[in-house]
Chain A
Amino acid sequence: MDDNLEQSIKRVMSDILNIPEEMITEDTASDNTEGWDSANHIQLVIALEEEFSISFDVKEFEALLSFADIYEMVQSKI
């Protein structure tokens, strides 16, 4: 795993979901994280696009459901 990328993604997730960076693991997902609701999910997508200057399709929005998903998706785009 690219440490930098990992840190950056965790930072964004921490900012949006309001959880400490240290608490974010590979398994952190929308179905097991309080505060990761649909509204925050949209904010997360926007924040990721902004942070990494990338663009997701609508299908991809729906697939960004865990840290692992996000890491894989972002890495494929940068």
Chain B
Amino acid sequence: MRDSPMLNDDAMREGQLREAFATHVQSGNRDLAIQSARLLLKDFASAKTYRFIGKIARGDGALNLGLRPFRIALLSSFSIEFIQDALFAQGVANGLRVEFYQTGFNAFRQEILDSSSGLYQNPFDLAILAVEGDDWLPEAYSRYSLATVNHAILKENFKSEIAAMLGRFRANSRSPILIHDLAQPDHYLLGIADRSNEKGQGCLVGEVNDILHEVCRQFSDAYVLGYDALVSRIGRERWYDQRMKHYAKFPLSQDAVGALAREFMRYCRALLGLSRKCLVLDLDNTLWGGVVGEDGLEGIQLGPTYPGSAFVEFQQNILGLHSRGVILAVASKNNPQDVDEVFAQQSSMVLQRADFSAFEVRWNAKGESLKRIANQLNIGLEHIVFVDDNPAECEHVRMLLPMVTVIQLPSKPEQYSKALFDDGWFDTLSVSAEDIRRSALYGQRAQAEALRETSTDLEGFYRDLEMTVTFSPVNEKNLSRAAQLTQKTNQFNVTTHRHTEGDIAGRMHDPAWTLAAVSVKDRFGDNGIIGLIMACLVDKELAIETFLLSCRVIGRTVETAMLAYLCEAASSRGASSLLGKITPTQKNAPARDLYQRHGFNKESVDEAGTSVWRLDCEYSKIEIPKWFKFFND
């Protein structure tokens, strides 16, 4: 009903966006104008909207907008001029001012094959050849006759024709050409028996498309648009408008027009180097359900059941983008340790810390984080796609950094992937091994720079944490926690010996053993017991049997404080050296350079890879870092 509140809200929002677009064009705010056009087309795509954008962007006020001219030659077997309004509007939303060279109805063969045709007299940046399957090969799409079709001859003829056309085209133009492949027929002449019959139309069309790809590969800058796939995606029944097909010789519905115009833009962007390069992601309610700072590690949703499974899928799709060269980054307002914990301990996480080339987990504004990311990775903000579930954050970024492409996630996680993929922001015309390598390079480079930049800030960072570290004897009260730590800690664990409460209890009263439960408090709260030391005195050596730290407190020099404690313990028991072992496992990479970093000498390595390290406590005493307050219980 016309007056329902929801429709009125929509109408109001559409009005606001239209006004914004007109204003930005008037003021010459290019990025904001482009953004408004994009938002209008996203939610209010219609013939009316295309005309509106067209009128304003072609008006006098638009001359200063700095839209990039882009000439498209449209060649088709149908009245493709009806797509021009949509394509022009989509062009505006991508910073382009599209001009058309429209060839005559069904005159595509003549225009391409005749070197003196209008096509070649009018320079263009891209030629689009959109021919429906039944116009290319009427015999293959016959509604009534299969018997007369000789597939081998049909395919040969098609191959020759395409090759001849491309050859002539290339001889007369250097511009890229985009050719639709052939969509499957609406109905198969053989009905359900078609696919199981090698003489079927389905097979033939597929084989013809293979030939199209094969021939295009032989020419430079000849690309195939996956038309059949696009039609399938939108839905064949939604795609075609039978009335318009007969009346206007334009077989596409308005839905198809919108989808096709968007699809063309993917190619235009890729051709012009406007593809996005970096995906910056929020974390809470984006990579997982819930808010980790509030719900805790156990409370967030990520796993085999809904909604966790939808988030898993989304992460998989993001990883897929990464695997073909897209750079990933995080911009999240969270405590770093909460986030670290998820990456370290949530076993359903598909994305790993190492997949991200930049990781801005801090409480400042997202706009700031985005700028830092762009800086760090040395890419332009216009190459970034920012994804967040929070409308306020999205709006903030849209206003502060209008050149950033903002994707506000829909309300349901199962819809996230579509929101990310629909526009193909990261599409390139080909994916090279270099693209795939580059992403890894960005990560390494960024880490090196970050280390250089922040090395002077590290001390400040540690001080800022205001950490208090406490060493307590292991007793009945914390025995359970101590045993649990040995069983669960995998990353910062040098020997990964698992112990029961019984094992540890046995050592509690054994004078040869030095046991210490390590707790850390910081500015954000009390972390409780997060480390464990167990060392045994043998002659004048204090041998470290267990040395572990919860991942929550990795990277804060707590381990240095613990080694300092051990040095003290050693000298108070008359031991002159500390002995430590490192047994490498799949998960304990963070711990493997512990002793090396603290000045121990490597004494031996066995075949299993276990290394033995020694520190002379008198000469090389380790001091507790000055940013700690410490207590001995």
Interface residues of A (CB under 8 A from B): 15-16, 39, 42-43, 46-47, 50-51, 56-58, 61-62
A62 CA / B248 CA spacing, docked (Å): 11
Q: Is the CB of B243 within 8 A of A46?
A: no
Q: Is the CB of A58 within 8 A of B81?
A: no
The CB with the most chain A CB atoms within 10 A, among B47, B81, B254, is that of B47
Q: Name B's interface SS.
A: helix
* B240 interface residue (CB < 8 Å to A): no
Q: Is the CB of A50 within 8 A of B247?
A: no
A15 CA / B55 CA spacing, docked (Å): 10
Q: Which of A39, A47, A56, A61 contacts B47 (CB 8 A)?
A: A47
Q: Is the CB of A42 within 8 A of B51?
A: no
Q: Is the CB of B81 within 8 A of A46?
A: no
Neighbouring A residues of B244 by C-beta, 8 Å: 42
Q: Which of A42, A50, A56 contacts B48 (CB 8 A)?
A: A50
Contacts A46-B254, A50-B254 given: A58-B47 contact, CB under 8 Å? no
Q: Is the CB of A50 within 8 A of B243?
A: no
Q: Is the CB of B248 within 8 A of A42?
A: yes
* B477 interface residue (CB < 8 Å to A): no
* B250 interface residue (CB < 8 Å to A): yes
Q: Is the CB of B247 within 8 A of A61?
A: yes
A39 CA / B48 CA spacing, docked (Å): 16
The CB with the most chain B CB atoms within 10 A, among A46, A56, A57, A58, is that of A46
A41 CA / B47 CA spacing, docked (Å): 14
Contacts A46-B254, A50-B254 given: A58-B247 contact, CB under 8 Å? yes
13 sampled A-B residue pairs with Cβ under 8 A: A15-B48, A42-B82, A42-B247, A42-B248, A42-B250, A43-B47, A43-B82, A46-B47, A46-B254, A56-B243, A57-B243, A61-B247, A62-B247
A12 CA / B7 CA spacing, docked (Å): 20
Neighbouring B residues of A39 by C-beta, 8 Å: 81-82
* B452 interface residue (CB < 8 Å to A): no
* B46 interface residue (CB < 8 Å to A): yes
Q: Is the CB of B254 within 8 A of A58?
A: no
Neighbouring A residues of B247 by C-beta, 8 Å: 42, 58, 61-62
B584: min CB distance to chain A, Å: 66
* B246 interface residue (CB < 8 Å to A): yes
Which residues of B from 248 to 267 have beta carbons under 8 Å from A?
Answer: 248, 250, 254
A42: min CB distance to chain B, Å: 5
Neighbouring B residues of A56 by C-beta, 8 Å: 243
A56 CA / B51 CA spacing, docked (Å): 21
Neighbouring B residues of A62 by C-beta, 8 Å: 247
A46 CA / B81 CA spacing, docked (Å): 14
A37: min CB distance to chain B, Å: 12
A43 CA / B47 CA spacing, docked (Å): 8
Q: Is the CB of A47 within 8 A of B81?
A: no
A56 CA / B250 CA spacing, docked (Å): 16
A39 CA / B80 CA spacing, docked (Å): 11
Q: Which residue in chain A gives the minimum CB-CB distance to B49?
A: A50
Q: Which of B46, B82, B246, B248 contacts A50 (CB 8 A)?
A: B46
A66: min CB distance to chain B, Å: 18
Q: Is the CB of B48 within 8 A of A47?
A: yes
Q: Is the CB of A58 within 8 A of B243?
A: yes
Q: Is the CB of B51 within 8 A of A15?
A: yes
Q: Which residue in chain B gives the minimum CB-CB distance to A12?
A: B48
A24: min CB distance to chain B, Å: 17
A51 CA / B46 CA spacing, docked (Å): 10
Contacts A42-B248, A57-B243 given: A51-B48 contact, CB under 8 Å? yes
Q: Which residue in chain B gives the minimum CB-CB distance to A78?
A: B2
A43: min CB distance to chain B, Å: 7
B110: min CB distance to chain A, Å: 21
Neighbouring B residues of A46 by C-beta, 8 Å: 47, 254
Closest 7 CB pairs of A and B: A42-B248, A58-B243, A58-B247, A46-B47, A61-B247, A50-B46, A47-B47
Neighbouring B residues of A57 by C-beta, 8 Å: 243
A59 CA / B46 CA spacing, docked (Å): 24
Neighbouring A residues of B250 by C-beta, 8 Å: 42
Neighbouring B residues of A15 by C-beta, 8 Å: 48, 51
The CB with the most chain A CB atoms within 10 A, among B46, B246, B247, B250, is that of B247
Q: Which residue in chain A gives the minimum CB-CB distance to B253?
A: A46
Q: Which residue in chain A gives the minimum CB-CB distance to B52?
A: A15
Q: Which residue in chain B gives the minimum CB-CB distance to A43?
A: B47
Q: Is the CB of A50 within 8 A of B81?
A: no
A29: min CB distance to chain B, Å: 19
Neighbouring A residues of B248 by C-beta, 8 Å: 42
A61 CA / B248 CA spacing, docked (Å): 10
A33: min CB distance to chain B, Å: 18
Q: Please, what's the 1-or-0 string for B68-110, where 1 marks a CB less than 8 Å from any CB in chain A?
A: 0000000000000110000000000000000000000000000
A24 CA / B254 CA spacing, docked (Å): 27
Having A51-B48, A58-B243, A58-B246, one finds 7 other A-B pairs with CB under 8 Å, namely: A39-B81, A42-B248, A43-B47, A46-B47, A50-B254, A57-B243, A62-B247
Neighbouring A residues of B46 by C-beta, 8 Å: 50
A78: min CB distance to chain B, Å: 9
A23 CA / B164 CA spacing, docked (Å): 53
Neighbouring A residues of B48 by C-beta, 8 Å: 15, 47, 50-51
A47 CA / B246 CA spacing, docked (Å): 18
Neighbouring B residues of A42 by C-beta, 8 Å: 82, 244, 247-248, 250
Q: Which residue in chain A gives the minimum CB-CB distance to B249?
A: A42
Q: Is the CB of A61 within 8 A of B254?
A: no
A16 CA / B51 CA spacing, docked (Å): 9
Neighbouring B residues of A43 by C-beta, 8 Å: 47, 82
Neighbouring B residues of A51 by C-beta, 8 Å: 48
Q: Which residue in chain B gives the minimum CB-CB distance to A55?
A: B243
Q: Which residue in chain B gives the minimum CB-CB distance to A49?
A: B254
Q: Which of B51, B81, B82, B243 contacts A61 (CB 8 A)?
A: B243
Q: Which residue in chain A gives the minimum CB-CB distance to B241?
A: A46
A49: min CB distance to chain B, Å: 8
A47 CA / B82 CA spacing, docked (Å): 12
Neighbouring B residues of A50 by C-beta, 8 Å: 46-48, 254
A39: min CB distance to chain B, Å: 7
Neighbouring A residues of B51 by C-beta, 8 Å: 15-16
B252: min CB distance to chain A, Å: 11
